[in-house]
């Protein structure tokens, strides 16, 4: 029994040294050391079970003291097992936190990339819409210019027509021998028509210019 007790006590001391070695690794691969510690703890547990049997074979005078020493080994072994589980729990928690942090960064990167692509698409769409608007505006201005030109040409034609009509009326009046008063009334009406035509041409030109400025 004494030999097994000292062997088990040595295992306890060696396991404590393994914990010091485990602390020095600082996040590197520790599975080998963890497995070694667990194997030593299992050996200590097995030895304590054997010591529980052997203690009953000790003389009565030494039996109580032997039980106290075995209980101390059990207590130390429980402390070692709890320390190993606590270490493994901390390592698992740290790995989970690192994994979650990496996933979060990955999601942020993916979101930013998607947002950048979306922003780029929006800018491209906006540019296309702007270019289309400019093209439509240019076509509108061209149409306005063509319409204005046609209107002015029609007004010129009307002016020439009025002039010709005035001449014909004067010729007819002279031929018929109309009075001077009637002739002046005809000339006055022709002059008024001329002013109305010129005013209409001017107003049309102003409207076209304002429309061009507004569209541009």
33-81: pLDDT as tens digits:
889 989 999 999 998 999 888 888 888 888 888 889 989 989 999 998 9
DSSP 177: T
Integer Cα distance of 180 and 187 in angstroms: 10
Structure tokens at 154: 């029609």
Question: Taking the alpha carbons of 63, 67, 70, 72 in that order, is the dihedral positive or negative?
Answer: negative
212 CB contacts (<8 Å, ≥6 apart)? 141, 144, 145
Specify the higher pLDDT residue, 154 or 17. Answer: 17
Integer Cα distance of 48 and 4 in angstroms: 9
Reported confidence tier of residue 106, pLDDT bands at 50, 70, 90: confident
For residue 117, how far is the Cα from the chain centroid? 8
Mean of the per-residue pLDDT values of the chain: 75
Instruction: Please check the confidence at residue 15 and state whether its pLDDT lies above 80.
Output: yes
Look at the block and give the residue holding tokens 């547990």: 45
Q: What is the pLDDT of residue 99?
A: 84
Q: What is the pLDDT of residue 214?
A: 65
- CB-CB contact of 208 with 145 (8 Å): yes
| Mean of pLDDT values over 181-210 | 70
| Mean of pLDDT values over 164-179 | 58
Q: What is the pLDDT of residue 209?
A: 72
- CB-CB contact of 12 with 80 (8 Å): yes
pTM of the shown model: 0.46
Integer Cα distance of 41 and 12 in angstroms: 8
């Amino acid at each position: 029994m004494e030999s097994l007790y000292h062997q088990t006590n040595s295992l306890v001391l060696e396991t404590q040294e393994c914990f010091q070695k485990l602390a020095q690794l600082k996040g590197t691969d520790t599975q080998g050391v963890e497995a070694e510690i667990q194997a030593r703890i299992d050996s200590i547990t097995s030895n304590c079970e054997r010591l529980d049997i052997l203690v009953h074979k000790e003389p009565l005078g030494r039996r109580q003291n032997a039980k106290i020493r075995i209980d101390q080994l059990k207590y130390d072994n429980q402390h070692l097992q709890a320390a190993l589980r606590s270490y493994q729990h901390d390592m698992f928690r740290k790995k989970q936190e690192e994994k979650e942090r990496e996933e979060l960064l990955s999601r942020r990167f993916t979101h930013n990339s998607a947002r950048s692509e979306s922003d780029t698409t929006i800018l491209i769409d906006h540019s296309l819409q702007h270019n289309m608007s400019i093209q439509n505006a240019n076509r509108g201005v061209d149409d306005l210019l063509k319409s204005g030109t046609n209107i002015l040409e029609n007004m010129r034609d009307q002016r020439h027509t009025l002039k010709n009509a005035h001449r014909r009326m004067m010729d007819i009046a002279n031929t018929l021998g109309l009075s001077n008063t009637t002739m002046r009334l005809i000339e006055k009406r022709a002059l008024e028509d001329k002013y109305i035509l010129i005013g209409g041409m001017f107003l049309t030109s102003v409207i076209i210019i304002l429309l061009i400025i507004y569209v541009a």
